[in-house]
A and B are shown apart, each in its own frame.
Chain A
Amino acid sequence: MTIFARSDTSILGRWWWTVDRWTLTAVCALIAFGIIMALAASPSVAERVGFDYFYFARRQLIYLPIALAFMLGASLLSPAGVLRAATLFLAIFTLLVIATFLFGTEIKGARRWITLGPLSAQPSEFLKPAFAVFAAWLFAAARNGSLTHGNLISMAAYGFLVALLLMQPDVGMAVLISAVWACQFFLAGLPLYWAALLGVLGIGGLIVAYLILPHVASRIDRFLDPSSGDSYQVDRSLEAFLNGGWFGRGPGEGTVKEVLPDAHSDFVFAVAGEEFGLFVCLVIVCLFAFVVLRGFAKALQETDLFVLLATSGLIVQFGLQALINMGSTLRLMPTKGMTLPFVSYGGSSLIAMGLCIGFLLALTRRRIGAETVQ
């Protein structure tokens, strides 16, 4: 790679030589696969809901450069810049989430979307990376003693955001943010006693959700006992993997995408299994695992607590989202509408994920020790 000379000290030159090119390559591979899947899985869905054949594929290809811009732009930032950008995004998108209650668009019984002319966005997607960075700073600052009551502020912010998300309602997003936040709290040195209590609270929260939210209850019931209700989607999903076998039926030869309503988003992994087969699926799993584990390895080398916590939070968010999507598709857990990062269709998800990986790349760039936030 000789795009930039070793002696190049411009912003891009320094970026090239300090950024984690392995992670970048893996993410680019996922993005490329996402393009293939947009072309493979979305046309049949588009046709079914009455759009023209390549409606979703075209939109995804329009969102992609924006997502790449977010990713590259964010990765140019310094850790301090990451924190500033995340705080700014957090403020903006929290306001937008509140705005969804005032003039949001209701889709499938939830107010998650905000529409501006031809554009529509799901602001809560952007909260995830922004809050992960912000919470990391609070924990790190509290631990360093530079901010008293950092943990309390973090708890308050977390409680506020989760309340907002549950009001939408967006249980999946709330669970994900909770998991990331709890994980960061744990890494920040939360006493094990409190960690255990937090775990119990999390489980209690899920039980409460099961008891008071009927659609959550029905999904969990159907997972525990498939015969208790309609398990059509997951059945078709498993059938897709079986149809695919070792090498798949070939691009465009899948049949499950014809019947699954969310073949292009929540069940994109099943379409991949049917059309491209077991080997390609394993490669995808390995790519996700690689990004996550390499991220953890990078975080292990960190000397700065904020960077360690922020990196971990972003990675946990990225990894959990991938695990939940694939786990639902494979009936390892109750179905939960969550996109597969970079592979599923969805503009907000794609751009927010670009931002997430952008922050990650920025924080894992090779730096000399002075470049810390504190």
Chain B
Amino acid sequence: MIVGRRNNPESIRIEGDHKTAIETGRNRLMVAGALFSAAFLLIGVRVIDVSIFRSDSEPRYTRGVTKHEKNVGRADITDRNGVLLATSLNTASLYANPRLVLDPEQAAMKLSIVLPDIDVKAIEKKLRSDRGFVWLRRHLTPRQQYAVNRLGIPALNFQREARRMYPLGPLASHVLGYTDIDNRGLSGVERYFDKELRTRQRNLSLAIDIRAQHVLEQELGAAMKKFFAIGAAGLIMDVNTGEIVAMSSLPGFDPNHPGAIAEELRFNRTTLGVYEMGSTFKIFTTAMALDAGTVTLGGGYDATNPIRIARFVIRDYHAKKRWLSVPEIFMYSSNIGTVKMALDVGIAGHRKFLSDLGMMKPVLIELSETGAPLSPNRWREINTMTISFGHGLAVSPLHLVAGVSAIVNGGIYRSPTLIKRDTNTPGPGKRIISLETSLKMRRLMRLVVDKGTGQKAAAPGFLVGGKTGTAEKVSGRGYHRKALISSFVAAFPMNKPRYVVLAMLDEAKGTEETFGYATGGWVAAPVVGAVVRRIAPVLGLRPVKADEASREILAIEVPKKSDRERRVAAH
């Protein structure tokens, strides 16, 4: 047929024209085909691209936690830097309607398979009861909830609840306290701020710096273990703001498991426990005498002979058996000298001074566990004499720290607080001693670490100053010679004190390394030294060069002889 057409001259022209049209069409069709090929290739490459290679470059869609999901009853507690100390998590709690349970025995058996720690008999009894609601197990993990759901037991149901969690475990446990299963605060700030934590939505920011807290607990714990102590207490307080930066009572507990806390672990030695603090009280006696003007730094007292009064004999532990100047009395911790200083001020003045320092009533702090001091019913001369060196008045370690803060910070008492203050400016306070007396006390305390009983508390560059204390614990009607409260209270840096640090060990035993001594200078002072060395850089303090200028500020003349003796010697 094609051949036939070719023979037709009429159609040849048309055929030719037709041919060129077809040729053009075909050529251009090649272009279209190429474009389509390229487009499909592009689609293929793009499919590979988005399926395989997009994981790193493009963020995947994530669903934010909505406010509703975060809705848990109790507000969070954080440290001063916002580190989470206590929070609430949503959990599921298992309950049953026993009236709807078909086979209590089988149900209890099945439950015991997925929740091995439950008491099968008790659960079975609960399921047999004639009530409409029984709790079977509170605060299940999601895995446990899934397992229980899979059992398919009718009449079981879940109640969404919030569970209090303490991510750092036992750290700062006595500060935080714990809650019961219904999230009611039972101790610590959880109890003190129970209502606020329930109602307000804002976090509770504590004054605690968890880094300092950790160091304090670690060093105290190590010393406790090393000296076989039954307990320990430690405090770090900002002397200008009154903020408690760290507070530790050991042994502590894990607030995540409130049911498992033994009774003796709940005892907060820093605030609830009251102790006769021993020689650290000489800080107060000396400050009082210097401030009253009954003695000067150049003056002193004869400490040759022990003081006998009634059935007591007051003697010196490091007896020098001579006249001692005030710096010597402080440095060698002379009981005799201190008693004479206190007696010169007088009973009334002594009592008022300690009362002004808050030693007669519980410390005002945001904890329910505060102990009332044990003070004498009738304050006689003998009481002033013993209290001047720390016996006969039992106060909490927090009392001591708050009092020492007032002595070193320029002379103003400020109530300690566990809540972070908004400003760094010192709050209002009550003047106890003059600034001049405070400056003198700084020099005396520095002297103890520099040359006296507290040399193991030294932290190079941070100018630690302090006072040792060793007291025998009251046992029945007398004192127990081997059961000691060994403490060291210090402030640093002594040229411009920022923090007071206390370390106290309860019934520490001497070791070979300490030549059998378990006194404050041997067991507690090293803890303070280690704590200061570790936390001072963290708290933003720069070490000071031990040059002449810094020595000058804290330099103190230590007269070895009284003026009269010197005059006699001169003749």
Contact pick for A330, options B1, B2, B17, B43, CB 8 Å? B43
Q: Which of A270-321 contact B (CB under 8 A)?
A: 273, 277-278, 281-282, 285-286, 288-289, 292-293, 296-297, 299-300, 302-305, 308-309, 312, 316, 319
A241, B51: Cβ atoms closer than 8 Å:
yes
Residue A187, interface by CB 8 Å: yes
A285, B44: Cβ atoms closer than 8 Å:
yes
Using known A-B contacts A235-B61, A288-B40, A305-B22, determine if residue A187 contacts B29 with beta carbons closer than 8 Å: yes
Q: How far is the CB of B30 from chain A (nearest CB, A)?
A: 7
Q: How far is the CB of A151 from chain B (nearest CB, A)?
A: 13
Among A34-42, A154-162, A207-215, A242-250, the stretch that binds chain B is A242-250
Q: Mark B6-35, 1 if CB is under 8 A from A, else 0.
A: 000000001001100110111011101100
Q: Which of A242-261 contact B (CB under 8 A)?
A: 242, 244-246
Report B-chain residues with C-beta under 8 Å of the C-beta of A221.
none
Beta-carbon nearest neighbor of A372 in chain B: B18
B61, A332: Cβ atoms closer than 8 Å:
no
A319, B61: Cβ atoms closer than 8 Å:
no
Interface SS majority for chain A: helix
Residue A46, interface by CB 8 Å: no
Report B-chain residues with C-beta under 8 Å of the C-beta of A332.
42-43, 46
Using known A-B contacts A187-B29, A369-B1, determine if residue A278 contacts B21 with beta carbons closer than 8 Å: no
Contact pick for A236, options B14, B46, B61, CB 8 Å? B61
Query: CA A281 – CA B45 in complex, angstroms?
Result: 11
Report B-chain residues with C-beta under 8 Å of the C-beta of A273.
47, 50-51
Contact pick for A242, options B21, B22, B54, CB 8 Å? B54
A186, B28: Cβ atoms closer than 8 Å:
yes
B37, A305: Cβ atoms closer than 8 Å:
no
Report B-chain residues with C-beta under 8 Å of the C-beta of A183.
32
Contact pick for A305, options B21, B30, B44, CB 8 Å? B21
A285, B43: Cβ atoms closer than 8 Å:
yes
Contact pick for B1, options A245, A282, A293, A368, CB 8 Å? A368
Query: CA A242 – CA B30 in complex, angstroms?
Result: 35
Interface size in chain A (residues, C-beta < 8 A): 49
Report B-chain residues with C-beta under 8 Å of the C-beta of A30.
none
Residue A188, interface by CB 8 Å: yes
Residue A326, interface by CB 8 Å: yes
B47, A330: Cβ atoms closer than 8 Å:
yes
Report A-chain residues with C-beta under 8 Å of the C-beta of B43.
285, 323, 326-327, 330, 332
Residue B48, interface by CB 8 Å: yes
Query: CA A285 – CA B43 in complex, angstroms?
Result: 7
A238, B52: Cβ atoms closer than 8 Å:
no
Contact pick for B22, options A244, A308, A326, CB 8 Å? A308
Beta-carbon nearest neighbor of A244 in chain B: B51
Q: How large is the interface on B (under 10, 10 to 19, 20 to 34, 35 or more residues)?
A: 20 to 34
Residue A239, interface by CB 8 Å: yes
Query: CA A248 – CA B291 in complex, angstroms?
Result: 84
A187, B40: Cβ atoms closer than 8 Å:
no
Using known A-B contacts A239-B61, A282-B48, A296-B33, determine if residue A187 contacts B25 with beta carbons closer than 8 Å: yes
Interface SS majority for chain B: helix
Residue B377, interface by CB 8 Å: no
A308, B32: Cβ atoms closer than 8 Å:
no
Report B-chain residues with C-beta under 8 Å of the C-beta of A300.
26, 29-30, 33
Q: Mark B139-151, 1 if CB is under 8 A from A, else 0.
A: 0000000000000
Residue B571, interface by CB 8 Å: no
Report A-chain residues with C-beta under 8 Å of the C-beta of B32.
183, 186-187, 296, 312, 316
Report B-chain residues with C-beta under 8 Å of the C-beta of A144.
14, 17-18, 21
Q: Which of B32-79 contact A (CB under 8 A)?
A: 32-33, 36-37, 39-40, 42-44, 46-48, 50-52, 54-55, 58, 60-61
B29, A289: Cβ atoms closer than 8 Å:
no
Query: CA A319 – CA B50 in complex, angstroms?
Result: 22
Q: How far is the CB of A79 from chain B (nearest CB, A)?
A: 15
Q: How far is the CB of B501 from chain A (nearest CB, A)?
A: 54
Max chain A CB contacts within 10 Å: which of B1, B18, B42, B51?
A: B51
Beta-carbon nearest neighbor of B13 in chain A: A145
Report A-chain residues with C-beta under 8 Å of the C-beta of B50.
238, 241-242, 273, 330
Residue A143, interface by CB 8 Å: yes
Contact pick for B48, options A278, A303, A316, CB 8 Å? A278
Report B-chain residues with C-beta under 8 Å of the C-beta of A188.
21, 25
Report A-chain residues with C-beta under 8 Å of the C-beta of B28.
186-187, 189
Beta-carbon nearest neighbor of A311 in chain B: B29
Report B-chain residues with C-beta under 8 Å of the C-beta of A186.
28, 32
B47, A241: Cβ atoms closer than 8 Å:
yes
Query: CA A302 – CA B44 in complex, angstroms?
Result: 29
B52, A282: Cβ atoms closer than 8 Å:
no
Report A-chain residues with C-beta under 8 Å of the C-beta of B58.
238
Query: CA A348 – CA B164 in complex, angstroms?
Result: 60
Beta-carbon nearest neighbor of A274 in chain B: B51
Query: CA A40 – CA B46 in complex, angstroms?
Result: 23
B29, A242: Cβ atoms closer than 8 Å:
no
Query: CA A236 – CA B29 in complex, angstroms?
Result: 37
Report A-chain residues with C-beta under 8 Å of the C-beta of B40.
285, 288-289, 292, 319, 323
Beta-carbon nearest neighbor of B30 in chain A: A300
Residue A370, interface by CB 8 Å: yes
Q: Mark A315-343, 1 if CB is under 8 A from B, else 0.
A: 01001000100110010100000000000
Contact pick for B36, options A281, A292, A302, CB 8 Å? A292
Beta-carbon nearest neighbor of A270 in chain B: B50
Report B-chain residues with C-beta under 8 Å of the C-beta of A370.
1
Q: How far is the CB of B5 from chain A (nearest CB, A)?
A: 8
Q: How far is the CB of A110 from chain B (nearest CB, A)?
A: 27
Q: How far is the CB of B353 from chain A (nearest CB, A)?
A: 70
A245, B60: Cβ atoms closer than 8 Å:
no
Query: CA A132 – CA B432 in complex, angstroms?
Result: 103
Using known A-B contacts A285-B43, A300-B30, A323-B39, determine if residue A278 contacts B18 with beta carbons closer than 8 Å: no
B61, A305: Cβ atoms closer than 8 Å:
no
A278, B29: Cβ atoms closer than 8 Å:
no
Query: CA A285 – CA B14 in complex, angstroms?
Result: 41
Q: Which of B346-383 contact A (CB under 8 A)?
A: none
Q: How far is the CB of B34 from chain A (nearest CB, A)?
A: 9
Q: How far is the CB of B19 from chain A (nearest CB, A)?
A: 9
Contact pick for B26, options A292, A308, A316, A326, CB 8 Å? A308
Q: How far is the CB of A233 from chain B (nearest CB, A)?
A: 12
Report B-chain residues with C-beta under 8 Å of the C-beta of A302.
22
Report B-chain residues with C-beta under 8 Å of the C-beta of A242.
50-51, 54-55, 60
Using known A-B contacts A242-B51, A299-B29, A308-B29, determine if residue A293 contacts B37 with beta carbons closer than 8 Å: yes
Q: Which of A60-117 contact B (CB under 8 A)?
A: none
A189, B21: Cβ atoms closer than 8 Å:
yes
A281, B17: Cβ atoms closer than 8 Å:
no
B25, A277: Cβ atoms closer than 8 Å:
no
B36, A296: Cβ atoms closer than 8 Å:
yes
Using known A-B contacts A330-B43, A368-B1, determine if residue A281 contacts B21 with beta carbons closer than 8 Å: no
Report A-chain residues with C-beta under 8 Å of the C-beta of B24.
187, 189
Q: Mark A201-227, 1 if CB is under 8 A from B, else 0.
A: 000000000000000000000000000
Query: CA A244 – CA B33 in complex, angstroms?
Result: 31
Q: How far is the CB of B523 from chain A (nearest CB, A)?
A: 63
Max chain B CB contacts within 10 Å: which of A189, A299, A302, A308?
A: A189
Report B-chain residues with C-beta under 8 Å of the C-beta of A316.
32, 36
Max chain A CB contacts within 10 Å: which of B1, B47, B54?
A: B47
Can you list 9 A-B pairs with a CB-CB distance of less than 8 A? A145-B14, A187-B29, A278-B47, A281-B51, A285-B44, A327-B43, A330-B50, A332-B42, A370-B1
A→B interface (CB under 8 Å): 143-145, 183, 186-189, 235-236, 238-239, 241-242, 244-246, 273, 277-278, 281-282, 285-286, 288-289, 292-293, 296-297, 299-300, 302-305, 308-309, 312, 316, 319, 323, 326-327, 330, 332, 368-370
Top 4 A-B residue pairs of the complex, sorted by shortest distance between their CB atoms = A289-B40, A296-B33, A241-B50, A278-B51
Apart from A186-B32, A244-B51, 10 more pairs, CB < 8 Å: A144-B17, A188-B21, A189-B28, A273-B51, A282-B47, A292-B40, A296-B32, A308-B29, A312-B32, A323-B43
